[in-house]
Structure 1
Amino acid sequence: MPSTFKHRNLPHLFLSAREALMLRFRPVLNEAGISEQQWRVLRILSDTDSLDAATLAQQAQILAPSLTRMLRGLEQAGLIQRGADPTDLRRQVIRLSTQGRYTVTELSPRIEAIYQELEQAIGPELLQAIYDKIDRMIERIQQP
């Protein structure tokens, strides 16, 4: 039976690629007791001083209600600190706590080792090309 579609299922390909990648990262995160979504939040916060909740939700690709629940748990675990934005008290800013920075620092060599294995498996040129092409695709798709 011929396909009714001209193009391959790109969203499904990205999901398959994500799953293939996460198979490598999941054991490290599970051992640390951190979910994939929590790691996204910690990793994003490790690259910045602080972020407001809306920006963090957007960058981590987590729905705001889910992020709110997750932040509560991360705060109780001592991994983040939350506070009012000094310039706008209605907004909440989130930052890594000392324990959160320590956790990211402790996990980063193992995470980086996985990236090194990936780079060896597919080659540095292909890995860089993937980064570049995905960045370009996102830019073009998001243009009005």
Structure 2
Amino acid sequence: MGSDEQQIRTLIEQWAEAVHRGDLEGVLVDHADDIVMFDVPPPHDGVRGIDAYRETWPPFFAWQAQGAAFEILSLDVTAGDDVAFAHALLRCGTRQELAERPETRLRLSVGLRKDRGRWVVAHEHHSFADTTAVAG
């Protein structure tokens, strides 16, 4: 794995650790000012900008304080010279939710760009599979 891939892997792992700790500044540190995020809860058309991104975290931290897990299970990174993407699967849920549905995974996709020589997250997408959908 090249240096850029390792830097990005470390960046995402540190972000996930900050999320788990409820450390807002640690969550924000490597994100672009013009970040776009599509998340599980509304708004369904996403949030745009670091200030809007910042506002999404306190409710999540309050929910997580009930004993929820937030841990990376798998992480893949692909990096070019100036842009990169990563995708991951995470365990995210309360003990009860994970006990009732242990296979549930939060899907994470991240788009990054190099800004003055350092990788920053420009796009973040979180989703859960729609378990109510029926294959036809």
Quickly name the TM-score band, shorter chain normalised.
under 0.3
Bigger Rg, structure 1 or 2 = 1
Instruction: Flag the structure with more relative contact order, 1 or 2, with Cα contacts below 8 A and sequence separation at least 6.
Output: 2
Q: Which has the higher strand share?
A: 2
TM-score after normalising by structure 2: 0.26
TM-score after normalising by structure 1: 0.25
